[in-house]
């Protein structure tokens, strides 16, 4: 079936700092792909370059074979993105945001209205549909961000920390939506710090460490009979170094 997303040697420097250092990944079409890594490992920078939000210093990204930088319109039509720290039109209501973005993406008005209604209901935002985004909680922002990513029925979803700050009931709803999306032939790449969640949802995983791919493949290949958490800790470092320094915390 080919790759939903192909990253080839993506590299990004911020001054002296090499945030992403030659990341190559293949996300097979139809897969549910988890990207894990410590704080500052380079996940957000990688995903931002993968979807055309940040220009790489080196390397390429293709979405279903369409180069994100040389064929941006074709590539971006195929992907729905939930970026980190999504900038929203703050003075619009949730429904207005969906209407605005749907029309901007060229969807017919009736389709936008129907999908906005359904998304707001499924994501339990219908109560808040008249509330301005500026008044949304962090979790509500995630949910409206996810709704904007789903609105144009993309073939690939790229989600940066979609469960961060989301309550357990909403998380269960989002999991059901995402599983249904993959069961219906869609592909998903998500980043998360929660290993249990990645093990529960994903069939493929990549561990990013210090801007590089430390391991990638199917979930079973990467964890090799252990838990993902044990594999992760072994790959990226030992927990607890320096904790004895905080002896003043215990009386």
Ligand X SMILES: Nc1ncnc2c1ncn2[C@@H]1O[C@H](COP(=O)(O)OP(=O)(O)OP(=O)(O)O)[C@@H](O)[C@H]1O
Binding site for ligand X (CB under 6 A): 14, 17, 19, 37, 39-45
Please state the closest distance from residue 37 (CB atom) to ligand X, in A: 5
84 vs 126, beta carbon nearer ligand X: 84
Cα–Cα distance for residue pair 172/123, rounded to 1 Å: 10
Please state the closest distance from residue 250 (CB atom) to ligand X, in A: 28
Please state the closest distance from residue 203 (CB atom) to ligand X, in A: 22
Q: DSSP letters along 77-103, please?
A: HTEEEE-TT----TTSBHHHHHHHHHH
Q: Give the tokens for residue 213.
A: 């791919």
C-alpha distances in Å from residue 5, one per residue of 66, 111, 126, 230: 9, 27, 33, 27
Q: Tell the burial category of 160 from Cβ atoms under 10 Å away from its Cβ (0-12, 13-18, 19+).
A: buried
Residue with the two structure tokens 């792909």: 33
31 vs 44, beta carbon nearer ligand X: 44
Please state the closest distance from residue 210 (CB atom) to ligand X, in A: 9
Q: Tell the burial category of 196 from Cβ atoms under 10 Å away from its Cβ (0-12, 13-18, 19+).
A: exposed
43 vs 62, beta carbon nearer ligand X: 43
175 vs 212, beta carbon nearer ligand X: 212
Please state the closest distance from residue 69 (CB atom) to ligand X, in A: 19
21 vs 129, beta carbon nearer ligand X: 21
φ, ψ of residue 187 in degrees (nearest 5) = -125, 145
């Amino acid at each position: 079936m080919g790759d939903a997303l192909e990253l080839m040697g993506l590299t990004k420097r911020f001054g002296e700092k090499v945030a992403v250092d030659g990341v190559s990944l293949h996300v097979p079409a139809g897969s549910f792909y988890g990207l894990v890594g410590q704080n500052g490992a380079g996940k957000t920078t990688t995903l931002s370059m993968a979807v055309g939000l940040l220009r790489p210093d080196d390397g390429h990204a293709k979405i279903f074979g369409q180069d994100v930088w040389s064929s941006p319109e074709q590539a971006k039509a195929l992907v729905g993105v939930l970026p980190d720290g999504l900038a929203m039109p703050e003075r619009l209501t949730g429904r207005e945001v969906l209407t605005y973005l749907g029309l901007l993406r060229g969807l017919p008005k009736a389709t936008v209205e129907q999908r906005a209604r359904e998304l707001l209901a499924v994501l339990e935002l219908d109560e808040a549909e008249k509330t301005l985004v500026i008044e949304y909680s962090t979790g509500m922002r995630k949910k409206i961000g996810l709704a904007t990513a789903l609105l144009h029925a993309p073939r690939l979803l790229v989600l940066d920390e979609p469960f961060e700050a989301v309550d357990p009931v909403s998380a269960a709803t989002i999991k059901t939506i995402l599983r249904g999306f993959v069961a219906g032939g869609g592909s998903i790449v998500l980043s998360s710090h929660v290993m249990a969640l990645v093990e529960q949802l994903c069939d493929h995983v990549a561990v990013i460490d210090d801007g590089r791919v430390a391991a990638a493949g199917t979930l079973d290949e990467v964890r090799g009979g252990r838990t993902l958490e044990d594999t992760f800790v072994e790959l990226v470092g030992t927990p607890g170094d320096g904790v004895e320094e905080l002896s003043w915390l215990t009386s």
